[in-house]
Amino acid sequence: MVVKNYQEKLAIQEGVQVSFDSGLCTVKGPQGEVKRMLLHPLIQIVVEGNEVVFNVSRYTRREKTMLGTFKAHIKNMMNGVIEPFVYTLKVCSGHFPMNISYSNNTFTVKNFIGEKIPRVLGIRQGVDLVLNGEEITVTSINKELAGQTAASIETLCKRSGFDRRIFQQGIFITSKAGKQV
């Protein structure tokens, strides 16, 4: 089923400014600024007053999914500039004590299961990483950056061929932004 000239609105949260310039969505708030490209040939996005208006010239199932994706991204951006997204990870080392360090946007894991060569991960700009004993806190106003950084840290200490329920050495996500794991 095809609907012509469909329109949907999304309310802008208080204390947040949203602007669009040729597909680039910029959201500013008290915590900072987040930018993202939101382009689709059939979806026009405009800011009118205190609302983001989505105009779709030909509304089919594909445009419906893209519209939902764009709305979710904008909501996440608005939530992030008000309150940053926080992921918590826990270092679990049984037999071999793991040493973790963070400096100059480089996260390093030494002595993972007795390995001599340290495992190194570069942390992207816009992400704050705090080490507190055996707990790692990843914070960012961009949900994708925070989630991807936490997942990259978790996969840094992953070994294939070992059952995760039995082999419980590594770094694991214990809480996600808005969810408990």
HEC profile of 33-75: EEEEECCCCCEEEEEECCEEEEEEEEECHHHHHHHHHHHHHHH
Q: Tokens for 120?
A: 């190194």
What pLDDT score was predicted for residue 3? Answer: 82
Superfamily of domain 85-180: Ribosomal protein L6 (3.90.930.12)
> What residue segments make up the domains of the chain, in order of their start?
3-82, 85-180
What pLDDT score was predicted for residue 42? Answer: 87
- Which class would CATH give 3-82? alpha beta
Per residue in 1-59, pLDDT (tens digit) is 788 888 889 999 898 999 988 889 999 999 999 999 998 888 899 999 899 999 998 88
Q: Tokens for 44?
A: 């026009």
Identify the band that residue 170 occupies on the pLDDT scale cut at 50, 70 and 90: confident
Give percent above pLDDT 70 in the chain. 99
Containing H/E element for 147? helix 143-156
**Is this prediction's pTM over 0.95?**
no
